[in-house]
Structure 1
């Protein structure tokens, strides 16, 4: 396990302390929205982000997942668990963009709601407790880019194979779903890459399509009737 760099102050203040509902479901007072599904956050991650991006079938050494909205870190834990369960050799790359990182104690409390991920949660806990924003394990290269994604993504010099678009709902957090940002997601997607999100909002689907993705509406998780899957063609139209 690598050692994180010496903690440095983040350019933005941490998120407001979450409110806790139904036991241990964190809700953002800033956006009045839960950090994950009230029904089953892990099942939603698997349905929306894993199946939506055709994982694990596409996982190979160096596969790069990028995410808008780190939240509690549930998507990272679930994806690393999937990687290990499938026995994928090599390293998973995971980059997440987050404006308001949760405090370590809140992240760990939220993650404790998913006992099947407890081993991985415990393995990564020291990094959150040291305010690490980048670290490496033998099978994981993790980076958190802190700041407003409307600025930080434009400055990013890499491309992702799969995107998890997991900001708070478009109605409550419209800044993370605008057409300009969806265009940046497309620009930072490798040919043949993909994106998936729990929302089926028409303006989000249109923005992804206008940015060059082939967009489909698919059955959503739980009570969500639909979700969005977007695939980037291998050869982009000029």
Structure 2
């Protein structure tokens, strides 16, 4: 049976890098700032938050995006529950997640709250303000049977140059199929074939200012069913 766990090395003490994809899990500059700029800003969050708002994500990684979204949800004072579903082929071991999350002191409180729940495999976490689901496996196989739709997508697979399977048109079509009308998607990458795949899937795609050394990022909106 193929090993489906994340194989890591560490840079700068606590920056995890995937051996399989030769790519860091978050920006070496400032992963938290990049997440806020790309995934929150690119999806017009927290302005769109409401009870039951559903974020879906390709690539759970260290859990940084979840921690950032939940922190923003709580800071916005939204009543009700945030739904967050993530698709991850190679879940990170719990101790590695905790180590990576420890880089972000600003998230220490929520990281400590969720730390006991991490299992390193498919799981659910239910809190008064959060309904989280981690779906383990190749998203090309696990997204199709998913029965729900998202209001916003965080497209956070490894670099398209190193992990092209995560960005193929067929998978982008599944993302669109699992997005509500008026829903959005955002990604740090502005690779042409990714933008074209989203457009072919029915999204209206624009380029925005990228974070740090990246010139551009991708933002998309689904305006028709």
Q: What is the TM-score when the length of structure 1 is the normalising length?
A: 0.92
1:213 aligns with 2:203: yes
**Counterpart-to-counterpart distance in 2, 1:190 and 1:132:** 24
Runs of 4+ in 1 over 3 A off after TM superposition: 129-132
Aligned positions, number: 225
Q: What is the TM-score when the length of structure 2 is the normalising length?
A: 0.97
Is the alpha carbon distance of 1:172 and 1:130 closer, same or farther for their aligned partners in structure 2, counting shifts above 3 Å? closer
**Counterpart-to-counterpart distance in 2, 1:48 and 1:130:** 25
Partner of 1:195: 185
**Counterpart-to-counterpart distance in 2, 1:131 and 1:68:** 15
Question: How far did residue 13 of structure 1 move?
Answer: 2.3
1:124 aligns with 2:114: yes
Partner of 1:13: 4
Partner of 2:22: 32
Q: After TM superposition, list the pairs within 5 Å mapping 1:1-238 onto structure 2.
A: 13-16=4-7, 18-129=8-119, 133-233=123-223, 235-236=224-225
| Residue-by-residue CA offset, 1:93-149 (whole Å, 9 max, x unaligned) | 000000000000000000000011001001001111585610100000000010000
**Counterpart-to-counterpart distance in 1, 2:144 and 2:101:** 30
Partner of 1:4: none
CA RMSD across the alignment = 1.4
**Structure 1, unpaired ranges of 5+:** 1-10
* 1:193 partner SS: strand
Whether the aligned pair in 2 keeps the contact of 1:12 and 1:147 (CA below 8 Å) is no
Is the alpha carbon distance of 1:133 and 1:173 closer, same or farther for their aligned partners in structure 2, counting shifts above 3 Å? same
**Structure 2, unpaired ranges of 5+:** none
